[in-house]
Structure 1
C-alpha cells in the first residue's frame, strides 16, 4: 500500500470554478503513453450524469442517480488496452440534483457539485486533480477524498484508505475474541479468523435504495442501515451460521473477507458499540457482500466494538471464510503520559486517550459511529486533550480551517450561535498552547468575518447579544431565558480571550473591542441547569465567594453530561476544591467504566432502570442506542489532569514559560505525567518515592513563572 501511495495520487473531487452555477460542464485531461498499457479500467463518482469520451469516441454513459456519489462506478466499455501516444479523456457532465445544503451544513456550501475519477492501467495512473480542465479553464478542487458531504466511497482500491490528506493508515488489530458462534467452526491463525461450516440456506437481500442525496455521509449510511436491518430482522435467522466478535475496544475499523470455498457465499454483518445495541437497535450497522469462490472484499471503515457475521450459503454446501480486522485512523505519536497508583484515574486517563486518538480521522470527528465530521464545539473540547497528548496537531488545524474558511458571511457555524463563539475561543487556546502565530495569521480574514457575525447581533444600548436564544449551550433542556444568559457569559469569555490574542498577536487587525452587559451573579446561580453557574464563573460574572459556596454544596446528579462534568471539575479545581473536582470526574467517567466502557460516551445517565445504553439521552435531540459511546468531546479528563491536578499550564504562548500549581488528590500517592510542548516534554507531579516534594522537569529554555 505504501509503494502504491508514493507513486500514485489520490483522486480529488473537482468541478468547474462556477460550482452549481455551471450544471453542464466538460472535464478533460490529455496524457501521453510511451508504450501500450494493458488492463485499463476507468472509474468515477459524481453528482449528475456523465458521458465518457476517449479520443473523441464515446466509451460509456452513466445516468444521473443518487448512487453515483456513493461509489466509484466502473465504465464497463472502456478500452482494455491503451495504445502508445497521446490521448484525451473527456467527461461531459450534466447535473440536475446537487448535494443539499442546510444552515447546519453551510460550511459545505461550495461542495454541492463534484466529480472524482481515476484511470488505471499497467504502469499508468491518472486521477482527477487541479490539472484537469473544466471547459476553457483549469478545474477547481471541491474537496478531498473522504471529506463531507461525500465521505467514503465504495469500490475503490483498498489503499484509498489513506484519504485525501494521505495520512490515514490501516493497522491489523490484535486482541480480538470470538464471544459467540453457532452453526460454524472458528479457528484463529495469528490475526486471521477462519469461519467455516455447512450452509443452511440463504435469505433475500437487496442493495439499499439510493433515491436521494443527503447532507452528510453518516446520515446516508444510517438511512441505509435502518432499511437493511429491517429487512434482515424480517428474515428467519435462527438457523443461519453466525459468529460474533469483540474487538476488545471500540475502533474505527474495516474488515477483510475472503471466500476460500469453491462455492459463493453471502456475508451479512452487523456492527455495534455495545451488546445491547447489537441486539436491539433498529438502526444497527447492517451491510452485506456476495463473494464468489476465491473472491476477497475489504469493507469501508465504521465505528464499532462488536461485529456479528452471518454466513449465507446454499443448503448443504460448505463455506470457508477468512476474516481480519484493521484499525483505521491517523497514527499519532503519544507524547503525553501518566503514571499513577490510582487504578481509577489510570483507567479514566486511558479511555480518554483512546477516545481522542481514534477520533483523529479525515477531521477531528466528534464520534466514530455517528456524526463522523467536524462539529465546532466538539473539536474545541477534543482539542483540550490534543494539547496534552500528541506531538502533531495537523488534524485539529484542518478541522479549525474547514469550519472557519467554509462558513460564509452571515451564518453561524453549524447553525449554532454558541459554536461560532467556541471557534473563536479555539483560536485563542490553540495559540496559547502552541505559540503558532503563522496559523493564526493565516485565518485573519476568517476571524474578522466571524467577529462581524457576532457583532451583527450586538445591541450597543445593553451590551448584549440579541436573537441568540435558540442556541445550543448543553444537551439538557434549557429555556430561552437561561440560554440568553449563558450566551452573554460565553460572549464575555470570548471577548476576553480575543483581547488577549490581540495583545500577543498585534498583526491581527480584526480584534474587536466588545463591551459586555452587566449581569448579576444571581442570574447564573439560579439557573436550572448546571452549566449556567459554571459559565457564569468562567466568564467572571460569578465571584469567588459565590462560586465556592455553590460548588461546595453541589452534588453530582442527573441530568449531567460529560460537557458539564468537565466544566464542573475545572471550576472546582480553579477555586481550590480538588476533591470535589475528582468526585465529578470519578462519578461520571467511573460510571462509564463500570459499564465496561473502552471509550468515553457522548452522554451519561447515572441512575437508570433499563440497560445503560438504552438509558442514555441527549434530552432534546435523541436517545437510546443512537447515542455515541465514543465521543471526542468527552476526552477532557486528560486536560483536567494536566492543567489542574498536575498543575501545568502555559504562562506564555507555546509554553515559553509555565505556571506550576499542582493540586494533589487525597488518597493518590503517585501521579506523574509528561506534557508535550513545542520545546519538548515537561514532567510534573508527585511520587511516593520522593515524599514531601513536587516534581517539575522543564525542557531547556523553558522557565517556571509565578
Structure 2
C-alpha cells in the first residue's frame, strides 16, 4: 500500500538553481512486477525531453503554460516490465520566474520541475533522491508553495499540500439561493441539478504566455479575461443555480456528470453577492465533463457559488455537486462562553477567519493574496497564540520570509514589514518559550537586524530609507508615515532587548537607540494610527495618551487594524468600555452587513453597497478589498488577554499576569487560553462577584493579580 502523504512530489532542480539553465534530472527505479495503466505527468520551467530506458518517449516545448498543469506525456508507455528502469528528463530553460522586490523572498524558486509517475500499485515522484547533472537534486519548493501554487490535473489527494497537513472535509450548511431553467435537489449538502440543455458554447482556454510573480496574480488575470468573455456571451438563459455555503471557506468541489451527454460547466465564486453580480475579477472557471466524467477543482476562497450548465440543445442532463472545506486541521484550545451574543459572534467570526487562513502558509486572505505577508501574519499570530495548540503554520511563515529575503532587501519590499517580522519573533517566543526555534533562525534574525542598523543615522538615531511606509490602509502623508516608522523602530528595539535578556545566546543582537521625537508630532497627526503608534512606542506620555483616548470618537476612516490597536491602547489605560466600543463598532458593522469572516477594511457609513464602498478605488473593475483577512481576526486575542485578563510575563507562560477587565452588561464570560503547560481556564459568571482562575496548570506562576 502506497502511503500517499509520504509520496507528494516536490519542485526540484540542480543546486545552482537559475544559474543552471540546462539540467538533466535522473531517477533509476526497480519494479518488482509488471506495472500497468501508467501515467507520467510533469510541470516545469523550460522545455523537456523525456527519456525512458534510453528511448525518447515525449517532448514538451518551452512555454509559460508548463508550470500551470501536470501535463500528461501521452506517448509514455502504459505498461512496464519488472526490473530496473531509468527515467531521464533533459531540460533547457531560457525563461525563469520573474523576481522583483515584492517577491524577493522567492528568489530561490525561479526554476523547477515537478513530476509523478503512477501505475497500478506503483508510485514515483520528484524529490531530493533524484540526480541533477550527476549530483543530488535540490528541493526548490514544496507542492502548493508560491510562485507555482496549486497545479491542475493532479490527483485529488494532492490537496494535502507539500507540508502534508491540509485536509478536506464536507461542507455542513450549504443552501440553495436560486435556480433557473433547471431543477435542483439539496440532499445532505449535495446538490443534484437536472434539466434540458439550452445550447453549448466553446469557451477558449486561458492564454498562458507569460510568467507571473505569484500564483494568485496569474489566476486573477485569467479570471478577469475569462469573465469578460463569458459576460459577452450572455448566459442568462442557461440552466444556473446559486449556492450559499453559509460561511466563507477555502473550498473545492467534486462534480459528477450523470448524463449521457458531455457538459460544459461555467462557475463563479465570490465573497459577497454584490461581488458575484458586479466584480470583473470574479472567480471564473470552466470545466469540460464527458458523459459519466468526474472532476475535482482546486481550492479557492469564496462564500457564494454560481454554476451554469451548458449542454447541447434539448439533451437532458443530470449533474452532481459536492463541496468541501480545505485547510490545515487545528486543535482548538482557546475558547469563550458568554451571555453576550455580540461578544460571542465577534469571537466566532474572528476564530473562523484565523482558522481558514491556515493553509500552505498563514495567508492574509483565502481569495486574493494567498501569501505570507509579514504584517498580516504578525497580526494573525495574535489569534494563533490564544486559540491553537500547534503553531507549525506560523513557524513556517516566519521561516519563509526570514530565510528567503536576502541581504539588502526589506521583507515584501516594505521596511515596516521587516520590523514587524522581528517583533513577531519576540512575541512567538513570549507565548511559546520555544527557544530552540528562535536559535534555529538566529542567523536570519541577525541579518535582518543588520539591514535595519545600516539605515540608522548614527547621530540622530533616526531610521532612514523607510518608504514605502505602509502603516495602515488609510491614506496618510509621508511625514506621518515616517513618524510611524520611528515609533515602530523604537518598539522593535525594546522587544529585541527583551528577547536577548531571555536568550543571552543571541550575542550578535545589538542594543538600538531611538530618535528623540516630541509627543505633539504624533498627537497632531491626521490619522488614528499615528497617534496610536506614538502611544505604544512611549513617545506620547501616559497623561496625554489617556487624554486622547478618552476624547477620541470612533469614525471613518478606521480599519480593523487600527481598531484593534485602539482597543489595546484603551485596555492598557483601563478604558475597557472605550476598547469594547472600538471592537463592537468595527466588527459589529461587519456582522451587521452579513460578514462570516473578518474584513480587510470597513466603512462605518456609506451610500453605495458595502463591498463597493470598501474598494481601494471606486468601482467593481478595481482591485477588490478582501472580505476574509487574517489580520482582522485580532479580537479573539483582545477578548482572551484583555477581557479575561491572561497575559504571559515570562516566555512560555512560566509566569502570568491576571488582570481581567469586565464589560458592563455581561454577566457571564468564561474561557480558556492555551499555554505550553496546558490551558488556563478563567472568567466570571453570574453569582460570583469577582473574576477568578478556574484552572492554572502546574508550572505556571501567578505573578500579578488584579
Please classify the TM superposition score into its range, dividing by the shorter chain length: over 0.9
Once the two structures are superposed, the pairs formed by residues 357-376 of structure 1 within 5 Å of their partners are 357-376=355-374
Q: Secondary structure at the match of 1:252?
A: strand
Q: Secondary structure at the match of 1:326?
A: strand
Residue of structure 1 equivalent to 2:298: 300
1:497 to 495, 502, 517: 495
1:250 to 248, 258, 282: 248
Return the alpha-carbon distance in structure 2 between the equivalents of residues 58 and 105 of structure 1: 37
Residue of structure 1 equivalent to 2:143: 145
Once the two structures are superposed, the pairs formed by residues 175-324 of structure 1 within 5 Å of their partners are 175-324=173-322
Deviation at 1:393, TM superposition (A): 0.3
Q: Calculate the TM-score normalised by the size of structure 1.
A: 0.98
Residue of structure 2 equivalent to 1:338: 336
- When structure 1 is superposed on structure 2, of 643-652 and 218-227 the one drifting more is 643-652
In structure 2, relative to structure 1, the CA distance for the partners of 1:623 and 1:187 (3 Å cut) is: closer
Q: Secondary structure at the match of 1:517?
A: coil
Deviation at 1:172, TM superposition (A): 0.8
Deviation at 1:579, TM superposition (A): 0.5
Residue of structure 1 equivalent to 2:518: 520
Is contact 1:50–1:62 with CA below 8 Å preserved after alignment?
yes
Is contact 1:475–1:620 with CA below 8 Å preserved after alignment?
no
Residue of structure 2 equivalent to 1:48: 46
1:569 to 563, 567, 573: 567
Return the alpha-carbon distance in structure 2 between the equivalents of residues 573 and 181 of structure 1: 49
Return the alpha-carbon distance in structure 2 between the equivalents of residues 394 and 472 of structure 1: 27
Residue of structure 2 equivalent to 1:26: 24
The answer as to 2:478 corresponding to 1:442 is no
Deviation at 1:121, TM superposition (A): 1.1
Return the alpha-carbon distance in structure 2 between the equivalents of residues 688 and 694 of structure 1: 12
Deviation at 1:686, TM superposition (A): 1.1
Once the two structures are superposed, the pairs formed by residues 411-490 of structure 1 within 5 Å of their partners are 411-490=409-488
Residue of structure 2 equivalent to 1:159: 157
In structure 2, relative to structure 1, the CA distance for the partners of 1:234 and 1:247 (3 Å cut) is: same
Deviation at 1:692, TM superposition (A): 3.8
- When structure 1 is superposed on structure 2, of 478-487 and 4-13 the one drifting more is 4-13
In structure 2, relative to structure 1, the CA distance for the partners of 1:6 and 1:317 (3 Å cut) is: closer
Q: Secondary structure at the match of 1:459?
A: coil
Deviation at 1:624, TM superposition (A): 6.4
Is contact 2:414–2:467 with CA below 8 Å preserved after alignment?
no
Deviation at 1:4, TM superposition (A): 5.2
Residue of structure 2 equivalent to 1:690: 688
Return the alpha-carbon distance in structure 2 between the equivalents of residues 440 and 685 of structure 1: 32
Offset from partner CA, 1:644-677 (integer Å, 9 cap, x none): 1111100111011110011111111111110010
The answer as to 2:527 corresponding to 1:529 is yes
Is contact 2:483–2:522 with CA below 8 Å preserved after alignment?
yes
Deviation at 1:621, TM superposition (A): 13
Q: Secondary structure at the match of 2:489?
A: helix
Deviation at 1:701, TM superposition (A): 2.3
Return the alpha-carbon distance in structure 2 between the equivalents of residues 289 and 264 of structure 1: 11
Q: Secondary structure at the match of 1:450?
A: helix
Offset from partner CA, 1:384-415 (integer Å, 9 cap, x none): 00000001100000000000000000000000
Offset from partner CA, 1:61-92 (integer Å, 9 cap, x none): 00111110001000000001111111110000
Return the alpha-carbon distance in structure 1 between the equivalents of residues 207 and 580 of structure 2: 50
Q: Calculate the TM-score normalised by the size of structure 2.
A: 0.98
The answer as to 2:120 corresponding to 1:113 is no
Return the alpha-carbon distance in structure 1 between the equivalents of residues 292 and 650 of structure 2: 61
The answer as to 2:571 corresponding to 1:541 is no
Q: Secondary structure at the match of 1:305?
A: strand
In structure 2, relative to structure 1, the CA distance for the partners of 1:692 and 1:430 (3 Å cut) is: closer
Q: Secondary structure at the match of 1:481?
A: helix
Q: Name structure 1 gaps, 5 residues minimum.
A: none
Offset from partner CA, 1:156-175 (integer Å, 9 cap, x none): 00000000000000101111
Q: Secondary structure at the match of 1:705?
A: strand
Residue of structure 1 equivalent to 2:387: 389
Return the alpha-carbon distance in structure 2 between the equivalents of residues 451 and 597 of structure 1: 39
Deviation at 1:620, TM superposition (A): 11
Is contact 1:180–1:245 with CA below 8 Å preserved after alignment?
yes
Deviation at 1:191, TM superposition (A): 2.9
Deviation at 1:8, TM superposition (A): 5.0
Is contact 2:10–2:141 with CA below 8 Å preserved after alignment?
yes
C-alpha RMSD of matched pairs (Å): 1.3
Residue of structure 2 equivalent to 1:650: 648
Deviation at 1:308, TM superposition (A): 0.2
Offset from partner CA, 1:109-137 (integer Å, 9 cap, x none): 00000000001111111110001000121
Offset from partner CA, 1:477-501 (integer Å, 9 cap, x none): 1111111111111000000000000
The answer as to 2:528 corresponding to 1:511 is no
1:93 to 91, 94, 99: 91
The answer as to 2:398 corresponding to 1:400 is yes
Is contact 1:381–1:636 with CA below 8 Å preserved after alignment?
yes
Offset from partner CA, 1:543-569 (integer Å, 9 cap, x none): 110001000110111111110000000
- When structure 1 is superposed on structure 2, of 495-504 and 696-705 the one drifting more is 696-705
Deviation at 1:6, TM superposition (A): 4.3
Return the alpha-carbon distance in structure 1 between the equivalents of residues 618 and 136 of structure 2: 47
Return the alpha-carbon distance in structure 1 between the equivalents of residues 572 and 425 of structure 2: 22
Return the alpha-carbon distance in structure 1 between the equivalents of residues 470 and 568 of structure 2: 21
Residue of structure 1 equivalent to 2:599: 601
Offset from partner CA, 1:457-485 (integer Å, 9 cap, x none): 01011011011142211111111111111
Is contact 1:469–1:481 with CA below 8 Å preserved after alignment?
no
Return the alpha-carbon distance in structure 2 between the equivalents of residues 621 and 143 of structure 1: 37
Is contact 2:616–2:623 with CA below 8 Å preserved after alignment?
no
Is contact 1:281–1:625 with CA below 8 Å preserved after alignment?
no
Return the alpha-carbon distance in structure 2 between the equivalents of residues 636 and 652 of structure 1: 22
Return the alpha-carbon distance in structure 1 between the equivalents of residues 162 and 581 of structure 2: 43
Return the alpha-carbon distance in structure 2 between the equivalents of residues 537 and 174 of structure 1: 45
Deviation at 1:33, TM superposition (A): 1.0
In structure 2, relative to structure 1, the CA distance for the partners of 1:419 and 1:623 (3 Å cut) is: farther
Is contact 2:176–2:186 with CA below 8 Å preserved after alignment?
no
Is contact 1:650–1:658 with CA below 8 Å preserved after alignment?
yes
Return the alpha-carbon distance in structure 1 between the equivalents of residues 25 and 410 of structure 2: 34
Deviation at 1:691, TM superposition (A): 2.9
Q: Secondary structure at the match of 2:234?
A: coil
Is contact 2:612–2:620 with CA below 8 Å preserved after alignment?
no
Return the alpha-carbon distance in structure 1 between the equivalents of residues 473 and 222 of structure 2: 27
Q: Secondary structure at the match of 1:42?
A: strand
Is contact 2:5–2:164 with CA below 8 Å preserved after alignment?
no
Q: Secondary structure at the match of 1:404?
A: helix
Deviation at 1:696, TM superposition (A): 4.6
Offset from partner CA, 1:168-192 (integer Å, 9 cap, x none): 0010111100000001111123232
